[in-house]
Amino acid sequence: MNFKRNIIVTGGAGFIGSHVVRLFVRKYPDYRIINVDKLTYAGNLANLADIEACPNYLFVKADIVDFDRMLALMQEYSVDGVIHLAAESHVDRSIKDPFTFARTNVMGTLSLLQAAKVHWESSPAKYEDKLFYHISTDEVYGALELTRPEGDADGRGPYGEEFFVETTKYNPHSPYSASKASSDHFVRAFHDTYGMPTIVTNCSNNYGPYQFPEKLIPLFINNIRHRRPLPVYGRGENVRDWLYVEDHARAIDTIFHRGKVAETYNIGGFNEWKNIDIVKVLIRTVDRLLGNPEGASLDLITYVTDRAGHDMRYAIDSRKLQRELGWEPSLQFEEGIEKTVRWYLDNQSWLDNITSGAYENYYNDMYANR
Ligand code: NAD
Ligand code: TYD
């Protein structure tokens, strides 16, 4: 079959990548979607079980750091678009093992860029109708101050006057955000130096189904379910801006098709929450859905030593994307959290598969020293 487009999605077996792959495979049957993923501890093909038999979907197990392999794949499938999500993504792991983050996030991105460059420059149309779309994070901008710690009259965000805009100076603090910042710079350098058509987007914290249960929301839902302690870092005052993962995937679709080359777009939901307030929402929701008395799990909250270099507040200004491309988040947080909690409670076997068996070593390794 001749496909209209041949797109590599890297990291498609991970959390956000699986939602992007699913959206593209279903929405564009005339595109071939090639999911390139190394299947690290965070990659799980069960995330894509519902679309794996689709004729326009292909999975390739490969390491993005392997330049020869990336080039061969681009040539074999006449790739004209790359949506790059593969990364090491957990801040706590980056504090323990920064090398792996530099390897995948920096060298992996560079190897993909160089493979795309060699492939596209040797094709007759060169860079015409090609796109290298790099998915990044708001964490590259550093941290904002908490100048309104009480929030608005209802105790909600914004928790400060300042927001990250596309021109905010990079100021990463964790090895994770430093590696992502470096990869963003390489992507822009390939545009400026070689004329490669690139786009970078920086998104706020995502939540939703299929997130690896080392991140705050799935970890805590699972712990409440099993009456395990909920390790809140520091005093739980840190603020994050949360976006439902399918809204991020829709933004990626919009930007891939209509975004302007060489631009940066911030993606976020204007939805700031203090960690401790999120934890209380999770407790309330899980207890209600499990039929526990209200407040039954509040005693699980356990304040633990703060994360080293813990960024105080992230808040994204995504008005450029709303103004120029008309994207808006579709879900209110309450609705998104309800859907998310229900999904994890209904998919206990997905969680069990990760916290036992083949994944056991990775998971236990991470939590052994807490
Ligand atoms: P994830 O950790 O759930 O998934 C990462 C995927 O990349 C996994 O499937 C893993 O197997 C794969 N991978 C890792 N190293 C690889 C390598 N060397 N070669 C090939 N594949 C490899 O991550 P996520 O939360 O889905 O994040 C995806 C992207 O979005 C990342 O680039 C991350 O920086 C960015 N991002 C994430 C968030 C968030 O809240 N999760 C927010 C903004 C941006
Ligand atoms: P996380 O989900 O790791 O995302 P990120 O660090 O990329 O923002 O963490 C979200 C927030 O929750 C962050 O401020 C750290 C905090 N946190 C805890 O308090 N306890 C935990 O066990 C985890 C994983 C995170």
User: Which domains are present in the chain?
Assistant: 5-305+313-366 (3.40.50.720)
State the average pLDDT over residues 99-112.
Answer: 98
Do β-strands 239-244 and 5-10 pair in parallel, antiparallel, or remain unpaired? unpaired
The residue count for the chain: 370
How many Å lie between the centroid of ligand 2 and the Cα of residue 33?
32
State the average pLDDT over residues 262-267.
Answer: 98
Ligand nearest to the CA of 47: 1
The Cα 25–Cα 238 span in angstroms is: 37
State the average pLDDT over residues 284-305.
Answer: 98
Is the sign of the CA dihedral 230, 232, 236, 241 positive or negative?
Answer: negative
How many Å lie between the centroid of ligand 1 and the Cα of residue 323?
28
pLDDT at 362 > cutoff 70: no
pLDDT at 251 > cutoff 60: yes
Is the sign of the CA dihedral 57, 58, 62, 68 positive or negative?
Answer: negative
Atom 37 (ligand 1) nearest CA: 137
- 364 or 297, higher pLDDT: 297
Its pTM stands at 0.97
To test the pocket of ligand 1, the residue of 21, 64, 89, 91 to mutate (highest count of ligand atoms within 8 Å of its CB) is: 89
pLDDT at 1 > cutoff 90: no
Ligand nearest to the CA of 86: 1
Instruction: Please report the pLDDT score of residue 355 as a whole number.
Output: 75
**41 Cα nearest atom in ligand 1:** 11
Instruction: Please report the pLDDT score of residue 358 as a whole number.
Output: 52
Catalytic residues: 138-139, 176
State the average pLDDT over residues 158-170.
Answer: 97
